[in-house]
Structure 1
Amino acid sequence: MEPENQTCVSEFILLGLSEQVLLQPLVFGLFLSMYLVTFVGNLLIILAIITDPHLHTPMYFFLSNLSFADICFTSTTVPKMLLNIQTQNKVITYAGCITQVYFFMLFGDLDNFLLTVMAYDRFVAICHPLHYMVIMNPWLCGLLLMASWIMTALQSLSQSLMVLRLSFCNDLEIPHFFCELNQLVQLASSDTFLNDVVMYLGTGFVGVLPLTVILFSYSKIVSSILRISSVEGKCKAFSTCGSHLSVVSLFYCTALGVYLSSAATQNFRASAVASVMYTVVTPMLNPFIYSLKNKDIKQALKKLFSQETFST
C-alpha cells in the first residue's frame, strides 16, 4: 500500500495582495511602515512595563506578553511578504509554508488567549477588588501564561501536522500574502475531510471558547459597574478596562469581518486584503490604544524617553 502523503510539491506561489507591478512599491512601502510601527510601538510598551516598577502588576504583565505576541504575529508574515516584493519572487518552500502556518496560528491564538486572561484579570479587579492581589498572585499569573502557551502550541502543532498528511500535486498558487491554513488545505489533491473536522474543532476551541469567557467576564463587570452609585465611581471603574475592551472589540470585529467576507464571497483576493486588518492593522493599533487610554503607560513612556535623553 502506498503512503497517504504523496506530496509532489517542494514550493508554493504566494500571489500576494495585487499582481499589478505599478502597485508593488506602494504595497511594499505601506507594509514596511506598518510593520516598523508595530514593532517599535509594541517594543516600547514592553520596555515601559519592564523599567517602571509601578507597572509590575498582573494587568501589565499580561499586556507585555500581548505586545510580544503581536510583534511575533506580524513577524511571521510581513517580512516574507516584503522579501517577495523586493526580490520579485513569490515562491515559498513547502517546509517554509508549513512553518509559517504553525507560527502564525501559534501567535494568533496566543493573542486570543491572552485577551481572555486579561478579561478575567479585569473581572477580578472590578468584581472582587479587595481580593485582587490575593487571587491574581504571581503563581496564578505564571500558570495562566504557561497554560496559554501550551494550549496554543498544541493547537498549532495539531493543525500543522494535519497538513503534512495531504498531497499537493496540481494547483500550487495560494491567493494570499502568506500561507493561510484554510486556503492551503483547499489546494490539496487528496481527501481533506479529516482536516476540515480538525479545523472546525480548532476554531471552536480558540475562537468560541475564549470569546464566551470574555463575554461572561464583561457581563459581570458591567453588572458590577451599574451597581456603583456615583458617576465618578462608574467612570473610574470603566476606565480600568476601557483599553482592553477596545483591543478586544478591534480584534474580534476585524477577525469576524474577515470570516464573514470569506463565507459570503469566493473572491479570495478580497479576503486576503480584508485579512490585513487583523494580521497587521490590529497589532499596530494596540500600542496606540493602550498608550492613549492609559495614564500609567503614558507616564511610563515619558520616564522611558527621559531616561534615554539623559543617557545620551
Structure 2
Amino acid sequence: MKQDVSPLAKKESKDSISHIQTEPGSRNLNPIPYQADYMGQKVHMDQNEKLAMFGVTHVVAIDGYSKKIVGHSTMAIKNNLVIYEDVFRPAILANGMWDQVRVDHGKEFFLTLFIQELLSSHRYDQERRPYLQTPSTRNHTVERIWPEINSRVNYPLKKALLQLVDQELLDMDDSLVKYCVSCLTGQLCQIGITRVVESWNAHRIPGKGTPNDLAGSGCPKKIPQELLPHSAEAAELYRQQLGSSLTPQSTFGVDPFLTEEDKLMAENQFAEQYSDISELMSRAVNNDFTPYKEALLFLITTTRRNV
C-alpha cells in the first residue's frame, strides 16, 4: 500500500508558502498580525494529543473571524476519515464553505484538504488559496482553545490515569486494558469538550462580542449536501485521483470481543453500574478522581469476564 499523499504533493514547491516561511532568516522578520475579515474567510483545524498515550486524540475546527468552534471530535488515534466525517463535513454542512482551511503539516488532514480543494470553486473568495499548511505555532486562532480544553478535560483525566499506572493498577501494555482505557476516557473527553465548546462559543470577547453572535448565519457561500461525499466515498475519490489509500480505521489496543452479543452484554453490565458517566467527568474536573478510577477498573474487569 502506498503512503498517504498530500493533495498538493505534485504541485511545484514554489507554490507552498511553507517553503517561504522556513527560509533562513525568516524567523527574524517582524510577524504579520493575524487578520480574518469575516465569518467564513479562514477555518483553523488542529489536533491535541495530550492523552495520546491513553488512546485519546482531539481535533477541533474554529472560525478565524468569530472564534467560534464549528466542529470537534474525540477519537482513539487521529485518522483522516474520522476527521473529515466528524469535523470538517458537519462544519461545512452547518455553516457553508470556508475560503481557506488552515492546518499544520500533519498527514491526518489530507482527506479534508483534498475535498476542500476539490470544491474550491464553491467558495466565496476564489482568489485565496483553498488551504494553507503552516507550522502549528502559526495556527494562531485554534491554539488559544487548547489551554481551556487541557485544564478542563485532559489534565484531570490524565492525572487520574497516571496515578493508576503508578499504582500498577493499569497495564498499558495489555491490549484489552488499552482498549478499555481509550473507550471510557474518550467518551468522558467528548462530554467534557462539548461543555467547553458550549461555554467558549457563548463567552464574550472584549470589544467584539460572543463567537455565536459574531458567526451570524455562517459562511457567505453555502453548499448542497450532495456535493459533500461521506468519508468512504471521499477516500475512494482520493485513491482514484492521487493513487494512494488512506487508513480506513485506527484503533488503540485490540477490540477483545468476538461477537456483538458479548460486547453488548459487557456494555449493559457497565451501564447498570454507571448509568450516567457524565458525573464521572464532573467529579474528575473537581479533582475527585475516585469515581472515574473505579469505573475504569470495573469496565476492565467486566470486559475480561465477557470475552
- Provide the TM-score with structure 2 as the length reference: 0.29
- Provide the TM-score with structure 1 as the length reference: 0.28
More contact order relative to length (CA 8 Å, sep ≥ 6): 1
**Which one has a larger percent strand, Structure 1 or Structure 2?**
2
**Which one has a larger percent helix, Structure 1 or Structure 2?**
1
